[in-house]
Structure 1
Amino acid sequence: MEKKYEVLADTMAFEGIPPERYGEVLEALGAYCRTYARGDLVRRVGDEMDFFGIVLKGGIQSVIPDGGRRQIVQQFAAGSVFGEAVAFSSQRCGIEICATASGTEILHIRAAAFLQGDTNPHIARMSTNLLRDMAGKLLMLNMKVRILGKQRLRSRIADYLLSLDPDATGYLELPFGRIELSEFLGANRSSLSREIKRMQDEGIVEIERRTVHILRREALENASEGTYDMIDSGKKMRQIAEEEPLFADFLVSKGFPFSVDNPVTELVTFDDVVALKDLDKEAFLEEYAEFKRNAGK
């Protein structure tokens, strides 16, 4: 087996297939290898996708181009399989696929070869493996849709960080740099940097380059669950108190001279109160979330 194919032993596609049979399987599938420079397009929007690929070296990412902006869908490192869903559906490519590192090597495998009724048991095993791989990617895309559905940037950041698996010491390693992360989360880079700085200042996380340490997991979970959206801050205070009676109790517990009988509550919104009292809105609502949980115990 050629050295560059050694990575296949760690891919889901070749799980259960003896390494000494890799050459036989690749030949039967009409596989071939190509090398790409950083930034090279493997496929453009509208191109035919008659193959799926396995990254042997380097990396690629799938991107939705939107004028001058880009929305990263997924990143693929060495050992990753990509493009199988489009290849087997006979659809044209709906995204751009580009190399993220110089010397990226990709093994191209013709999808049509799986439809020729080959009785090779190793090819049958690969078909099963690919179905499992596609199922995992579907779950990942569902997560991405959920993240992008969050209105607040902090909620998107929190949801994404909570989706990552920490190492034995409790640290997370981001697969993205700051630019790619902003594209993945559908956010402006400056806005992302400001929000991350606020989260660090509040002692929720520590982030050094791509290494993340979650310091206050509960606060991160609150952000992910949309705690900060539980109050429509544009509504008048009386309406908020009528719809959310515990919020009135919380205000009193914080020393606010609040009463629904006060006619002023029909005139001011929660945003007005935030501005008047110079409150940290997100921290204040985080405290309310804790108050609400304790009240339910």
Structure 2
Amino acid sequence: MDASMKVLQRVPLFRGINENDFPHLLNCINAKKKSYARNEFIFLSGDIPTAIGIVLDGRVQIIKEDVFGNRVILNDLGAGAVFGESFVCGGSFSLTVSVQATEDSSILLCPFKQIMHICPNACEFHNTLVQNMVVMVSQHNIKLLEQLEVTTKHSLREKILAYLAQLAQEQDSATVNSPLGRVDLADYLGVDRSSLTRELKRMQDEHILQFDKNIYTLLNTGI
């Protein structure tokens, strides 16, 4: 686990816990590291998860598919990100989404019961874990609201601008690097790729933005 120590240090679940306690902590909560190949599913819709996942390296996406096979990307996560916490905190509920590795990835699976229940050894870090879990679930709900703010816009142009405005705020720059490629961004916005490409070109012609692959610059934003 030494190679992943720097990643674990920035994981919200472990905030405030001394890095020297990590080996004991991971053993206490029975955390297991597992590798997934590109396009392999970590969780499938319909599963009843018992553990939360932490991305140690690689990249994963939270996706939802309807009965017609249409796919929407709900989140795109890199190293240090946590997923599955809202479902395991809610009890024995079936997943309504799937989690898929978009490149070769290493995931740390942490059983929820071991995180939330004080162990017989009364380890000092358990209270911190519980507090951090509550904060994480709250932040997750805020991220969902931010996504709703984007996807509920009426026009495609409004969706694009809302998405890029959020990135600009996060990255504190009018020029942003989107973690989503064109195909994934279309899925995230709930539109087809050709429509997205056409609208981006129109917005560039109208000097609203400039783009080159995944790099976008919002013009006249004041940022």
TM-score normalised by L of structure 1: 0.70
Say if 1:170 and 1:213, in contact at 8 Å, map to a contact too. yes
Could you tell me how far 1:134 is from its partner in structure 2?
A: 1.8
Q: SS of the residue aligned with 2:61?
A: strand
Say if 1:38 and 1:99, in contact at 8 Å, map to a contact too. yes
Aligned to 1:26: 26
Aligned to 1:13: 13
Say if 2:116 and 2:130, in contact at 8 Å, map to a contact too. no
Could you tell me how far 1:81 is from its partner in structure 2?
A: 0.8
Distance 1:120 1:71 in 2: 41
Q: SS of the residue aligned with 1:165?
A: helix
**Counterpart code for 2:103:** A
Could you tell me how far 1:114 is from its partner in structure 2?
A: 3.0
- Is structure 2 residue 194 aligned with structure 1 residue 190? yes
Aligned to 1:99: 101
Could you tell me how far 1:170 is from its partner in structure 2?
A: 3.6
The CA deviation string for residues 16-56 of structure 1, in whole angstroms up to 9 with x for no partner, is: 11111101111110110100001000011111100001100
- Is structure 2 residue 174 aligned with structure 1 residue 173? no
Aligned to 1:159: 162
**Counterpart code for 2:50:** D
Aligned to 1:250: none
Higher helix proportion = 1
Could you tell me how far 1:133 is from its partner in structure 2?
A: 1.9
Aligned to 1:3: 3
Aligned to 2:86: 85
Say if 1:204 and 1:217, in contact at 8 Å, map to a contact too. no
Q: Which is greater in Rg?
A: 1
Say if 2:35 and 2:107, in contact at 8 Å, map to a contact too. yes
Could you tell me how far 1:74 is from its partner in structure 2?
A: 0.6
Could you tell me how far 1:168 is from its partner in structure 2?
A: 6.4
Distance 2:138 2:2 in 1: 30
- Is structure 2 residue 142 aligned with structure 1 residue 139? yes
Q: SS of the residue aligned with 1:217?
A: coil
The CA deviation string for residues 150-174 of structure 1, in whole angstroms up to 9 with x for no partner, is: 1210011111111113656641110
Q: Which has the higher contact order (CA 8 A, sep 6+)?
A: 2
Could you tell me how far 1:212 is from its partner in structure 2?
A: 1.1
Could you tell me how far 1:121 is from its partner in structure 2?
A: 2.2
**Counterpart code for 1:136:** Q
Say if 2:174 and 2:221, in contact at 8 Å, map to a contact too. no
**Counterpart code for 1:146:** E
**Counterpart code for 1:138:** N
Distance 2:181 2:116 in 1: 39
TM-score normalised by L of structure 2: 0.92
Task: Quickly say closer, same or farther: Cα 1:49–1:169, change in 2 above 3 A.
Answer: closer
Q: Percent identity?
A: 29
Say if 2:45 and 2:97, in contact at 8 Å, map to a contact too. yes
4+ residue runs of structure 1 moved beyond 4 angstroms? Answer: 166-169
Number of equivalences: 217
